Amino acid sequence: MGLAATRPKPKRPDEPKDVERPDRIILERLQKDDKVSLGDLAKKTGLASSSVHYRIKRLEEEGIIKGYHAIVDPVKLGYDILAVSFIRSRYDPKSYERL
């Protein structure tokens, strides 16, 4: 058995990533409140603030965290009607890139 036989198989870019427990906690908290402090995340995960910061940056670089957003009140902007549309489709990496 050679060295090549012991190497892990490379993952495809669209293959789901293994996410460690502290990262899952960070992701859950950020989804609830994208302005949560590093200190609060550090307490929840049991990690140092610097470790939490590093993990968030890594999750962003890996594309797991795609961005942050503000929730806007449409009425305060003068919109009387709010319409929400749902589109269901299968995930296809090539089609997704075209969007």
4 located within any domain: no
Residue whose tokens read 């296809």: 92
Query: 96, exposed or middle or buried, with CB in 10 Å at 0-12, 13-18, 19+?
Result: exposed
| Helix, strand, coil percent values for the chain (each to nearest 5) | 45, 0, 55
pLDDT at position 11: 61
pLDDT tens for 20-37 read 999 999 999 999 999 999
At 37-47, the pLDDT tens digits run 999 999 999 99
pTM > 0.95: yes or no: no
Q: Is the pLDDT of residue 3 over 60?
A: no
Residue 82 lies in a domain: yes
Three-point CA angle 96, 58, 26, nearest 5°: 95
Residue-level pLDDT at 93: 76
Range of the domain at 31: 17-98
Q: Does residue 42 fall inside a structural domain? A: yes
Domain-embedded: residue 9: no
Q: What is the CATH number of the domain that holds 56?
A: 1.10.10.10
Look at the block and give the residue holding tokens 């950020």.
30
State the pLDDT confidence band at 52, using cuts at 50, 70 and 90: very high
Q: CB within 8 A of 36, min separation 6: which ones? A: 29, 30
Total number of domains in the chain: 1
